[in-house]
Every structure is written in C-alpha cells, then in structure tokens.
C-alpha cells in the first residue's frame, strides 16, 4: 500500500492512482520504423532498484506525473511533472 505524492494534491493512497508504465521510455518519431516501435511497446527494463514511472491521479486531480520509486524497498524518492528531471 503505497502513499504517493501527487505534485498537485500532495500525498494520497495508492488506491487513488493508476500506474501508467515506465517513464524512462520515449515514443519514437513516426518514421522510426517497426523495430523502434516494437522496442517502445514491448521492451522494458525490469530493474531491482530505482525506477522512473508514470502515475495518474485518476481519483483525484487526474494529473499524470513521474514517480521515482525503488522497486525493492518501494521507497519513493521523488515525484514531478512530465518533462522534469529527478534530482
């Protein structure tokens, strides 16, 4: 049961949020070809450690934001808006 810091609303329960995937992958340009899109859609690192991920405050302000979470300890070190870089 995570407690997630929404950059807009503050800390709230995991139940209010939707996990939206790995925030470290970037959608390729339209002409990048099938292989690039294949990797974008299907290939993910599975780190035992820090992971940058998208969360959406679906039952709150509906903002989509980044969370830096440790996949082993579940410690959340940072959250921020799209485009921001974690410290």
- Positions touching another protein (CB under 8 A) are 1-3, 13, 18, 20, 23, 27, 29-30, 32-34, 36-38, 40-42, 54, 56, 58, 62-64, 73-74, 76, 82-83
Rounded to a whole number of angstroms, the minimum distance from the CB of residue 63 to Zn ion is 5
Residue number with CB closer to another protein (50 or 58):
58
DSSP E strand boundaries for the chain: 3-6, 10-13, 18-22, 50-56, 64-70, 76-80
Which residues sit at the interface with Zn ion, rule CB under 5 A?
6, 8-9, 57, 60-61
Tell me which residue has tokens 């921020």. Answer: 80
């Amino acid at each position: 049961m995570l407690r997630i810091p929404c950059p807009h609303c503050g800390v709230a329960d995991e139940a209010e949020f939707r996990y939206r995937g790995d925030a470290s992958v970037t959608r390729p340009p339209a002409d990048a070809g099938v292989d690039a899109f294949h990797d974008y859609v299907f290939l993910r690192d599975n780190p035992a450690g820090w992971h940058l991920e998208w969360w959406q405050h679906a039952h709150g302000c509906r903002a989509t934001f980044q969370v830096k979470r440790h996949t082993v300890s579940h410690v959340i070190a940072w959250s921020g808006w799209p485009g921001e870089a974690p410290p």
